[in-house]
Amino acid sequence: MANYSTNEFKPGLKVMLDGDPCAILENEYVKPGKGQAFNRVKVRNLKTGRVNERTFKSGDSLEGADVMDRDMEYLYADGEFWHFMATDGSFEQVGADEKAVGDASNWLKEQVIYTVTLFNGAPIAVTPPNFVELEVVETDPGVRGDTSGGGTKPAKLVTGAVVKVPLFINVGDVLKVDTRTADYVGRA
């Protein structure tokens, strides 16, 4: 892979740091009145999700990470792995473990396209689309006159996620949910 100098650092760039792939979140160039210039860089480890802040002397370089984001369709889960298939016509399949899927498991629905981050051909992260449509499988019935100003109740979705919804939502309704905040957006 290519090497990136400190003057090429920008948010979104993926580099190798301490043997792990990392994404640069913020890059600040600092030129003190006395001494050498340096870059204060905030990076997220793509394997662990941890955010660290590091400083690099002006002119230092880092190796680019062999990381690629691919749009893949979720197929099924077999108890140990979640299986995804490439949508580019190659029909290549990969199995992501629990560590790679993480919180995205609340939003996994068959035949929906997800962004899978691959490192050396193995998935290290799964990113759901911003909005998904899921069916309500369990919720309390809403009682008329129960609120003075539009209350909410918990609703369990088909994937197991629990979302706060308005009182008029019933079992069997299909909801549009924001996966970034786990908020109810509307009925689908």
Please tell me the distance from the alpha carbon of residue 57 to that of residue 77, in angstroms, as a whole number.
46
Contact 87, 71 (CB under 8 A): yes
> In the structure encoding, which two tokens stand for residue 49, read together?
């999700």
> In the structure encoding, which two tokens stand for residue 62, read together?
């880092």
State residue 67's pLDDT score.
87
User: In which region does residue 185 sit, left (phi positive, over 0), alpha (psi from -120 to 50) or beta (all else)?
Assistant: alpha
Contact 109, 134 (CB under 8 A): yes
* Banded model confidence at residue 149, pLDDT cuts 50, 70, 90: low
Would you report the helix, strand and coil content of the chain in percent, each value rounded to 5? Answer: 5, 55, 40
Cβ partners under 8 Å of residue 4, min gap 6: 13, 15, 61, 62, 63, 64
Partnered with residue 139 across adjacent β-strands are 155
What type of residue is 71? D
pLDDT in tens, 81-97: 999 999 888 889 999 98
pTM attached to this predicted model: 0.74
The answer, yes or no, to whether residue 157 has pLDDT greater than 60, is yes
pLDDT in tens, 96-134: 988 888 888 889 999 999 999 898 888 988 889 999 999
State residue 12's pLDDT score.
84
